[in-house]
Structure 1
Amino acid sequence: MTKKFPPISGKLPVMMHGADYNPDQWLHDPTIFEEDIRLMKLSGCNVMAVGIFSWTALEPKEGEFAFEWLDKVLDTFADNGIYAWLATPSGARPAWMSEKYPEVLRVEANRVRNLHGMRHNHCYSSPIYREKTAIMNGKLAERYGNHPAVVGWHISNEYSGECHCDYCQQQFRIWLQNKYGTLEKLNFAWWTSFWAHTYTDWKQVESPAPHGEFAVHGHNLDWRRFVTDRTVDFCRHEIESVRGVNPDLPVTTNMHMIDGIDYRKLAAIVNVISWDAYPTWHSRQDDSQLGSTFAFHHDMYRSLKRKPFLLMESVPSATNWQPVSKLKRPGMHKLSSLQAVAHGSDSVQYFQWRKSRGASEKFHGAVVDHIGHEHTRVFQDVAELGRALAGISEIVGASTPSETAILFDWDNRWAVNDAAGPRNAGIHYEETVIAHHRAFWKQGVPVDVIGSEEDFSSYRLIVAPMLYLCTEETGRKLEKFVENGGTLVTTYWSGIVDEHDICHLGGFPGPLRKTLGIWAEEIEGLYDHDVNGVKMTEGNELGLNGSFESHEVCEIVHPEGAEVLGVYTGDFYAGSPALTLNRFGKGRAYHMATRLKDDFLGEFYRKLADDVGLARALNADLPSGVTAQVRTDGASDYVFLMNFSGQEKSVSLDNRVYADLETGETMDGGIALPVNGVRVLKRKS
């Protein structure tokens, strides 16, 4: 496994620190730009994302371009040791374009075309929009592709949404024809014989609509896949329009909405992953639940390429669009920022540098407030972090040594949430996946978040919560993984449908039945007020004792070679298996037939980690609300101790020699972590 990756840009081989910068909003007052340069240097910010929403400033009228202001920005950056992620401005189009070419505007699922406005209100299939983005991007590349201040391309902004216009309907039919070949195969894959939905001509097929077809699950699933492919194709179109001048410039696009498109496909066409994180800190005193949720997301984005990523957007204070805009408490800015670094980020960047004076985000947090100077708490927090990042730049490129993986597939997520199944009131797929991940986070066990199509061979343990959509191929891969000595954990609602979202025949869990050694006969959804429980069997091999409460879903399973480790405590199926273990080949496969809570997951995965021999970031018991994460370059390990508990905590170190990376102080014994405290320690690998 690679231990150390090269820096994302050789021009800036240190921790990147900066923000989205919109100098085009301040062209009326040149003194603002001069002050911004001074403040950037004072805050320790070394990179800015520039031009994200600058199309009108760059092309005020069709065919009339104005680059002089951007020339000055980038030249001044170069003179002052500041760099830029130069954006393509396709995230929002000019009003003149919407007026002259209304086809560039999206059509919603109700088949009504939008008016001009908002972001991401454009059709990825529109020939005009593709032509206009190629012209704009090409001119940017020609002018700035070799500029000394430019470290890479920031392609568009938070790709999201879908269009249902005639162009997209045509492209959807072409996509389906390429996938299925014949209507007979499409009808079988979608099981359209149900409710007489059978198609007899390709032109009858349209995208799902609230006033039309939306009840054929295979249709819904393929539409979401098509939207992903359209989005990726448009992003590829943008990349091709900037790549020719300087192919060595890295390319990224910032990701954000997990429920929109399959980011694994988007990841395949960019050089580096970047994403935008906006936790709602301080909704309660203990932030560890939220901390673990964002740890999962950091791990997921890092795992898209299994190498360092960029935190492209965060907020140094408070947003203005969340339900409650809570200020970050003292210490939280550094803690939450270094959490991203702990999980693999080589940057901390913000939206935004300077607060806008008007429009919808004029109160969104920024490094520079409306007051316009550095004498604010937030600016000082940013400057403190800038100094800390400068002190730990040797971590840049360090990898995360994960022996555990959690399976998280976008099409499985779409299918689970679309299924009319045991709990339409909420089966909580994503929350369940994060709960399993949290059990490792509490122990300081590094985790990758991977897809079913990836290679499993480098892992000792794979966890697959609610693998509802499980293809025959995935079933064979997991069977081979276990047979070769791996440990697999699955849950209820697994192995139910294939890639077309039609049910496996021959008994659930379908392709996993042999590996798990069980037959799942029935599944029951519980009301929110219902509970059941799991009583551990005497002498079970994990050494777990007592009973644990379960909720939401109970699956009735029959062992077919599997050992019973725990049984239900209630209802008519009391005494039947709720937790099983199947020894298969050289490995083992566990199955949880019901949704269990954090207390069980914590004990179960602690025992399993010991049994499998998983390495922890720190060989010590971590107090509640404190986690440890590790990155390594092969010669040195970098251990991040982070306190999300809302209370002062003390952590006992193991017997290895540690040094505080920021101060150089040698550490041994115990470390006191204040509220929202974080320490970065270095040790020999």
Structure 2
Amino acid sequence: MTKKFPPISNKLPVLMHGADYNPDQWLHDPKVLEEDIRMMKLANCNVMALGMFSWAALEPTEGVFTFEWLDKVLDSFAENGIYAWLSTPSGARPAWMSAKYPEVLRVEANRVRNLHGMRHNHCYTSPVYREKTAIINGKLAERYGNHPAVIGWHISNELGGDCHCDYCQDAFRAWLKEKYGTLEALNFAWWTSFWAHTYTDWSQIESPAPHGENMVHGQNLDWRRFVTDQMTDFCDHEIKSVKTANPDLPATTNMHMTDGLDYRKLAKILDVISWDVYPTWHDYNNDIELGASVSFWHDLYRSLQQKPFLLMESTPSLTNWQPISKLKQPGMHKLSSLQAVAHGSDSVQYFQWRKSRGSSEKFHGAVVDHVGHEHTRVFKDVADLGRTLADISEIAGTPTPAKTAILFDWDNRWAVQDAQGPRNSGIHYEETVMAHHRAIWEQGVPTDIIGSEDDFAGYKLIVAPMLYLCREETGQKLEKFVENGGTLVTTYWSGIVNEHDLCHLGGFPGPLRKTLGIWAEEIEGLYDHDRNGIAMAEGNELGFNGSFESHEICELIHTEGAAVLATYTDSFYAGRPALTLNRLGKGRAYHMATRLKDDFLGEFYKQVVDAAGVERAIHTELPAGVTAQVRTDGESDYVFVMNFSGQEQCVKLDERSYMNMETGDAVSGELALPVHGVVVLKRQA
């Protein structure tokens, strides 16, 4: 039977609600803290992320520490029932450090060392930087590791970027020696015989550079892997330095939507996953596509540890760094916040609590505006959400019962971007992945976003769009998954290269050829104005007919045991297979040879989800733009019904008994949803 996960913190075993708090910006006005405490309670906030960029306030000169202001803040929190994720300040170092130890400053790919400034402008390999972070972190741990207000450690902030200094070059070479052992093995894996790039000494190897080597794809891929490992090692260094006083305090670091780090590796050293999201709501007439996209990322971060995560940053109103800083329309704050909870978050937190008075984020949204009081629309929205989170807090700790997964590897993502293949003007890997996810999301089907090293056994349906980098081991795992009764969906540009970005020989899709029952002979990139299409075969097993437009990519395939479900309608390959189904063991594997649009994907996944025996959150057909997600403890299901359509909608519920968790009222028949409406229902599991 499904059960809840243990609370992230036993001190606060409920849904968390709060914001980034920067009292060090207001030390000149002691009344601010008193006002902030009063308003935090009014806003129904129970936790703050504290001290994130406070190094200069904590250590104004080398070796001189000033913790008194932080003592006062944390003691005030404890007296008022407010808790803190206490941050390590390594996201931005003080000026005295950059001046005295210039080696801590980052060197860019052009081999020029940066000046002091910005955030994350530091080298994670630098011995001095590691020493200084260990000292300040150790002081924080000793002083606050057992403070009653502290519930965990917030490590740095949005780790990212890379450094190309001499320390990092030496570390990269050591990493490569550990991985390959010999230069002969490295040269073969990188295929350096191309363009006479063979290395004869380890010292010749450098990181990719705009004015040097950047066309060896295996080298580019390994540099990204090294950066992930080095960043993870630095984060682990920080975690160890703060766990000295109280090893039981959980540690997290707030992730962001970046392609620079493989977060699955970083996730292995964290106690809980947290991430930051800032969608551009209301860019168009409805928010369906964006709502689905944000859900994809929530699903990914939940899947990193297969347990509840934390929404560590969002905006209660607007940002100030996007091209257009648009306000959230009425209802969107609640909808977008509960969307995170629906997909597995046990918190809703914001950047920021109080607007800064100066510098680059002084106009970024906040709970407390420059006016300085609670009588604003945004503050009311935040307070109302806080009450809702309190009403539904029994959801905290519950898992999401996903039997569908999308395969999304970071190194595949990197390799696709670097491939120089059929459409260098844009092969749109992420957009394609999200289009498949959206077609499933619109049916209210819980979905995990997994990596090729994860366990496939618990899923009924796995979707692997553009699995360009496919290891032999991954091919074997997917083959076994299908043979054991699973359903697999793949697309063009799959099974092309191995883990070194070397092409599979013997015919594409390489390790997937037996599973898919096809041979991919050629692939054509279409111009933006080009179109092709597919015609469904009469009496096909999917059970729907018609023609559908395709674009961008057309793969020319031969069947090797697979059944043809649809053929191309145009070009010299009209009539050739475009959609196939191969039966293998107890399962089935579908292959889309061309990029198809939302109309086809919607019809396709309706049939595939049913055939795979995947449960929807609600057994009903949802209106366009309305989705449903479910969390469960095995006894009760918690169903979130969310309206991203931009219009009023009505959902016909199935015959099970439901209760509105905010009002306690029984709900049956039809459920009315206003624009940006969201309802949280409870039913027996």
**Whole-angstrom CA distance in 2 between matches of 1:158 and 1:182:** 35
Which residues of 2 match residues 351-390 of structure 1 at below 5 A?
351-390=351-390
1:405 corresponds in structure 2 to: 405
**Whole-angstrom CA distance in 2 between matches of 1:427 and 1:8:** 40
1:13 corresponds in structure 2 to: 13
1:437 corresponds in structure 2 to: 437
Asked if 1:426 is matched to 2:410, the reply is no
**Whole-angstrom CA distance in 2 between matches of 1:299 and 1:602:** 20
Which residues of 2 match residues 199-214 of structure 1 at below 5 A?
199-214=199-214
TM-score normalised per structure 2: 1.00
For the Cα contact (< 8 Å) 1:639–1:681, is it kept in 2? Answer: yes
CA deviation profile, 1:573-602 (whole Å, cap 9, x unmatched): 000000001101111110000000111111
Residue type of the alignment partner of 1:84: A
Residue 544 of structure 1, CA deviation = 1.8
2:414 corresponds in structure 1 to: 414
1:133 corresponds in structure 2 to: 133
Cα gap change, 1:283 to 1:571, in 2 (>3 Å): same
Asked if 1:680 is matched to 2:680, the reply is yes
SS at match of 2:442: helix
1:233 corresponds in structure 2 to: 233
Residue 527 of structure 1, CA deviation = 0.5
**Whole-angstrom CA distance in 1 between matches of 2:257 and 2:14:** 28
Asked if 1:69 is matched to 2:78, the reply is no
**Whole-angstrom CA distance in 2 between matches of 1:611 and 1:322:** 42
1:143 corresponds in structure 2 to: 143
CA deviation profile, 1:519-545 (whole Å, cap 9, x unmatched): 000000001111100100011011120
SS at match of 2:552: strand
1:118 corresponds in structure 2 to: 118
Which residues of 2 match residues 457-606 of structure 1 at below 5 A?
457-606=457-606
1:156 corresponds in structure 2 to: 156
> How many equivalent pairs are there?
685
Asked if 1:639 is matched to 2:639, the reply is yes
CA deviation profile, 1:193-220 (whole Å, cap 9, x unmatched): 0000000000000000000000000000
CA deviation profile, 1:515-574 (whole Å, cap 9, x unmatched): 100000000000111110010001101112001100000000000000000000000000
Residue type of the alignment partner of 1:82: I
**Whole-angstrom CA distance in 2 between matches of 1:625 and 1:258:** 27
**Whole-angstrom CA distance in 1 between matches of 2:549 and 2:258:** 30
**Whole-angstrom CA distance in 1 between matches of 2:39 and 2:138:** 32
**Whole-angstrom CA distance in 2 between matches of 1:600 and 1:303:** 27
1:186 corresponds in structure 2 to: 186
CA deviation profile, 1:586-625 (whole Å, cap 9, x unmatched): 1111000000011111110000111111100001110011
Residue type of the alignment partner of 1:416: V
CA deviation profile, 1:336-359 (whole Å, cap 9, x unmatched): 000000000000000000000000
Residue 2 of structure 1, CA deviation = 4.3
**Whole-angstrom CA distance in 1 between matches of 2:34 and 2:411:** 49
**Whole-angstrom CA distance in 2 between matches of 1:197 and 1:250:** 47
For the Cα contact (< 8 Å) 2:2–2:632, is it kept in 1? Answer: no
**Whole-angstrom CA distance in 1 between matches of 2:187 and 2:667:** 66
Residue 244 of structure 1, CA deviation = 1.7
**Whole-angstrom CA distance in 1 between matches of 2:290 and 2:155:** 29
1:169 corresponds in structure 2 to: 169
**Whole-angstrom CA distance in 1 between matches of 2:565 and 2:224:** 39
SS at match of 1:405: strand
For the Cα contact (< 8 Å) 2:92–2:120, is it kept in 1? Answer: yes
1:94 corresponds in structure 2 to: 94
Residue type of the alignment partner of 1:507: G
For the Cα contact (< 8 Å) 1:580–1:592, is it kept in 2? Answer: yes
1:395 corresponds in structure 2 to: 395
For the Cα contact (< 8 Å) 1:548–1:600, is it kept in 2? Answer: yes
SS at match of 1:384: helix
CA deviation profile, 1:113-161 (whole Å, cap 9, x unmatched): 0000000000000000000000000000000000000000000000000
**Whole-angstrom CA distance in 1 between matches of 2:162 and 2:329:** 38
Residue 503 of structure 1, CA deviation = 0.2
Residue 257 of structure 1, CA deviation = 3.1
SS at match of 1:443: coil
**Whole-angstrom CA distance in 2 between matches of 1:504 and 1:67:** 58
1:252 corresponds in structure 2 to: 252
Residue type of the alignment partner of 2:85: W
**Whole-angstrom CA distance in 1 between matches of 2:657 and 2:2:** 24
**Whole-angstrom CA distance in 2 between matches of 1:626 and 1:488:** 26
For the Cα contact (< 8 Å) 1:160–1:257, is it kept in 2? Answer: no
Which residues of 2 match residues 654-665 of structure 1 at below 5 A?
654-665=654-665
Residue type of the alignment partner of 1:618: I
1:629 corresponds in structure 2 to: 629
**Whole-angstrom CA distance in 1 between matches of 2:101 and 2:509:** 51
1:652 corresponds in structure 2 to: 652
Cα gap change, 1:272 to 1:2, in 2 (>3 Å): farther
Residue type of the alignment partner of 2:569: T
**Whole-angstrom CA distance in 2 between matches of 1:66 and 1:258:** 35
**Whole-angstrom CA distance in 2 between matches of 1:118 and 1:323:** 20
CA deviation profile, 1:249-280 (whole Å, cap 9, x unmatched): 01100000321100000000001000001000
**Whole-angstrom CA distance in 1 between matches of 2:482 and 2:10:** 42
**Whole-angstrom CA distance in 2 between matches of 1:392 and 1:260:** 36
Residue 677 of structure 1, CA deviation = 0.5
Residue 7 of structure 1, CA deviation = 1.2
**Whole-angstrom CA distance in 1 between matches of 2:326 and 2:524:** 39
CA deviation profile, 1:23-43 (whole Å, cap 9, x unmatched): 000000000110000000000
**Whole-angstrom CA distance in 2 between matches of 1:367 and 1:670:** 35
Residue type of the alignment partner of 2:240: E
Question: Could you list the runs of 4 or more consecutive aligned residues of structure 1 that deviate by over 4 angstroms after TM superposition?
Answer: none
Residue type of the alignment partner of 2:162: E
**Whole-angstrom CA distance in 2 between matches of 1:620 and 1:517:** 34
CA deviation profile, 1:406-464 (whole Å, cap 9, x unmatched): 00000000000000000000000011111100011100000000000011000011000
**Whole-angstrom CA distance in 2 between matches of 1:234 and 1:216:** 27
Residue type of the alignment partner of 2:157: N
Residue type of the alignment partner of 1:555: E
2:195 corresponds in structure 1 to: 195
SS at match of 2:411: helix
2:311 corresponds in structure 1 to: 311
Residue type of the alignment partner of 1:163: C
TM-score normalised per structure 1: 1.00
Residue 285 of structure 1, CA deviation = 1.6
What residue ranges of structure 2 are gaps of 5+ in the alignment? none
Residue type of the alignment partner of 2:556: I
**Whole-angstrom CA distance in 1 between matches of 2:298 and 2:100:** 42
Residue 81 of structure 1, CA deviation = 0.1
1:277 corresponds in structure 2 to: 277
**Whole-angstrom CA distance in 2 between matches of 1:254 and 1:573:** 49
Residue type of the alignment partner of 1:58: L
SS at match of 1:233: helix
For the Cα contact (< 8 Å) 2:388–2:662, is it kept in 1? Answer: yes
For the Cα contact (< 8 Å) 1:642–1:679, is it kept in 2? Answer: yes
Residue 3 of structure 1, CA deviation = 3.2
2:607 corresponds in structure 1 to: 607
SS at match of 2:365: coil
CA deviation profile, 1:43-96 (whole Å, cap 9, x unmatched): 000000000000000000000000000000000000000000000000000000
**Whole-angstrom CA distance in 1 between matches of 2:504 and 2:187:** 17
SS at match of 1:426: coil
**Whole-angstrom CA distance in 2 between matches of 1:187 and 1:473:** 22
Residue 671 of structure 1, CA deviation = 1.0
CA deviation profile, 1:222-262 (whole Å, cap 9, x unmatched): 00000000000000000010112111101100000321100
